[in-house]
Amino acid sequence: MLKRIIFTLLLLLRLINPAFAEVNIVATLPWIGSIVREIGGDKVNITVLVKPNQDPHYIEAKPSMILEASKADMLIYNGLDLEVGYLPLIINSSRNYRIQAGRKENLDCSQYIDAIERPQRDVDRSMGDIHPFGNPHYHLSPENIRKVADGIADTLSELDSAHAEFYRKNLISFYERLDDKQKQWGSKSLKDKKFIAYHKYFEYLASEFGFQIIGYIEQKPGIPPSAGHIERLIETIKNSRPDALITTGYYGKRGVEFLSQKTGIRGVVIPHDVGADDIKDWFTLMDRVLESLE
């Protein structure tokens, strides 16, 4: 009886004073959850749908995800069709008017960045897993994350105006921490290094830090390599002598290990998201990524 009374009082308090309640946010990817925590602090409650060990290209919508979306005040996602295989189904099935496409509560983080590798012609399946709006793996770019954090802070401030000053102060603290980190990261000896990558995952990072990706183990994005492709790649590696063969933790490790044995070039598994290898936040993720490459 006492528990029921307490629950009723809390519910009434939330209805009477919405400013008291946390903003219930559903984020698709761990790195997004990390940025939201930096900006939202204790004013937000965050649920992340995709686990750190999962390949974000191949996620299936689950009833638990739909349930979380049905309760969300706000949905935040990567965009550029990275979540196209499961997120539309979650949004539609949630029957939550707040997070439908076109509403402010439906926040596509990619709107704040300049996407690279936009196809110059119509995309078809023969080209592999090509994203028609550009490369979606922009979260390893500090400059892109600066823009995304600003967009998240603006949207939270608009939707939860009672705590707008709190979000803006956290954004300033985020900027200050990012500025300090960029000074550290800028000293990394990555300029002019050459890598062979399994997947087109590191292009934003390469552009920002001055290293080159001179080949890919995948024959086409999302398509495993053929024997002929591997033979040609071995010749490329022997001739160009890259600094390392790189991939992420959730796929490509066997291909990297095989080529490393064949060529003597070191294989390196790069952490891909917050939560992998006990990485606690986006800043630690970037530390580990750059250390691995260096």
Tell me the per-residue pLDDT of 92-118, one tens digit each, with 9 for 90 and over: 999 999 999 999 999 999 999 999 998
pTM of the model: 0.89
pLDDT in tens, 132-183: 889 999 999 999 999 999 999 999 999 999 999 999 999 999 999 999 999 9
Q: What are the CA-CA distances from residue 69 to residues 55, 75, 117, 145, 194 (Å)?
A: 20, 8, 31, 24, 42
> What is the sign of the dihedral through the CA atoms of 28, 34, 36 and 41?
positive
Distance CA 242, CA 265 (A): 7
Contacts of residue 291, Cβ cutoff 8 Å, sequence gap at least 6: none
pLDDT in tens, 219-263: 888 788 899 999 999 999 999 999 999 999 887 888 899 999 999
Domains identified in the chain and CATH numbers:
19-184 (3.40.50.1980), 194-293 (3.40.50.1980)
Q: What are the CA-CA distances from residue 171 to residues 73, 110, 111 (Å)?
A: 21, 18, 18
